[in-house]
Amino acid sequence: MSTIIETFTSGLLVFSRPELLLYILGGLLFGMYAGAMPGISATMAISLIVSLSYNWPIYSALAVALGCYVGAVYGGSRSAILLNVPGTPAAIATAFDGYPLAKQGKAAKALGITAIQSVIGGIIGSIFLLVAAPLITRFALMFASRDYFLLALMGIMLLVSMSGGSFTKGMFSGFLGMFIGVIGMDSSTATQRFTFDNIYLMNGISSVAIIIGIFGLSESLVQMRDFRKVTVRKQDLSRVIPSFHDAFGYLRVTIESSLIGVFVGALPGTGGNIAALISYDRAKKSTKNPAVPFGEGAIEGLVASESSNNAAVGGAIIPMLTLGIPGDSATALLLACMTAHGVVTGPTLINSQDGIFGIIVMLVLLANIFLLPVSLTGIKIFSKIVEVPKQILLPLIIVLATVGSFAAKKNIMDVYFMTGFGVFGYFLSIHKFKTGPLVLGMILSQLLELNLRRSLVGAFGSVWTLLGQMVSSPISAILTLVVVLVMLGQFGILKKLKSVIRKS
Partner 1 sequence: MSIGDLEHDANDVVFEQTEEKKDSKLEQDEKKTEFVRELFFLIILGAASIALLIPSIQMWMNKPNANAPGMFPTIVTVGMLLCDGIALVQLLGKKTAEGSDMDEIGWEKLKFIIGTEVPFTVFVMMAATLLYVASLKIIGFYIATFIYLTFAIVFLYKGDRSKIVQALLVAAGMDLVVYIVIDLIFQIHMP
What region does 194 belong to: left with phi over 0, alpha with psi -120 to 50, or beta?
left
Beta carbon nearer to partner 1, 349 or 466: 466
Exposure class string for 461-494: b at 16+ Cβ within 10 A, else e: eeeeebeebbeebebbeebbebbeebeeebeeee
For partner 1, the closer of residues 106 and 434 by Cβ is 434
Q: How far is the CB of 483 from partner 1 (least distance, A)?
A: 13
Binding stretches for partner 1 (CB under 8 A):
52, 166, 168-169, 171-172, 175-176, 178-179, 182, 186, 188-189, 191, 193-194, 217, 221, 224-229, 231, 390-392, 394-396, 398-399, 402-403, 406-407, 410, 412, 415-416, 419, 422-423, 426-427, 430-431, 448-449, 452-453, 456-457, 459-461
Query: Residue 354: what residue type?
Result: D
Half-sphere exposure of residue 442, counting CA atoms within 13 Å on the CB side?
24
Q: Residue 188 or residue 286: which is nearer to partner 1 going by CB?
A: 188
Q: What are the two backbone dihedrals, phi and then psi, of residue 134, each rounded to the nearest 5 degrees? A: -60, -35
Residue 422 CA to residue 467 CA, distance in Å, equals 39
Alpha-carbon gap, residue 191 to 445, rounded angstroms: 16
Can you tell me the distance from the alpha carbon of 269 to that of 159, in angstroms, rounded to the nearest whole number?
5
Smallest distance from the beta carbon of 437 to partner 1, in angstroms? 11
For residues 98-109, one letter each, b for 16 or more C-beta atoms within 10 angstroms of the residue's C-beta and e for the rest, the string is bbbbbeeebbbb
Query: Would you say the C-alpha torsion 247, 250, 252, 258 has a positive or negative sign?
Result: negative
Give the nearest distance from C-beta 243 to partner 1 in angstroms: 34
Q: What CA–CA distance (Å, rounded) separates 333 from 320?
A: 10
Closer residue to partner 1, CB minimum distance, 306 or 414: 414
- Identify which of residues 17 and 193 has a Cβ nearer to partner 1 in the complex: 193
Q: How far apart are CB 401 and partner 1 at their closest, in Å? A: 9
Nearer to partner 1, 8 or 227 (CB): 227
Smallest gap from residue 228 Cβ to partner 1 (A):
4
Count Cα atoms within 13 angstroms, Cβ side, for 173. 28
Q: DSSP readout, 182-248?
A: H-EE-TTT--EES-TT-HHHHT---HHHHHHIIIIIHHHHHHHTSGGG--------S--SPPHHHHH
Comparison of 200 and 227: residue with beta carbon closer to partner 1: 227
Minimum CB separation of residue 266 from partner 1 in Å reads 27
The identity of residue 394, as a single letter, is: L
Shortest distance, position 218 Cβ to partner 1, whole Å = 10
For residue 276, the minimal CB distance to partner 1 (Å) is 28
Cα–Cα distance measured from residue 71 to residue 370, given in angstroms and rounded to the nearest whole number? 10
* Nearest CB to partner 1, comparing residues 280 and 406: 406
Give the span between the Cα atoms of 394 and 124, in whole angstroms.
Answer: 36
**Cβ-based nearer residue to partner 1, 33 or 357:** 33
CA distance 118 to 110: 12
Smallest distance, partner 1 to C-beta of residue 229, A: 6
Residue (410 or 498) nearer to partner 1, CB: 410
How far, in Å, CA of 121 to CA of 145, rounded? 34
Q: What is the Cα–Cα distance from 425 to 133, expressed in whole angstroms?
A: 35
Strand partners, 62: none
- Angle ∠(74,442,410) on CA atoms, nearest 5: 80
User: Least distance from C-beta 466 to partner 1, angstroms?
Assistant: 9
What minimum distance in Å lies between the beta carbon of 104 and partner 1?
Answer: 21
Q: Tell me whether residue 177 or residue 301 sits nearer to partner 1 (CB atom).
A: 177
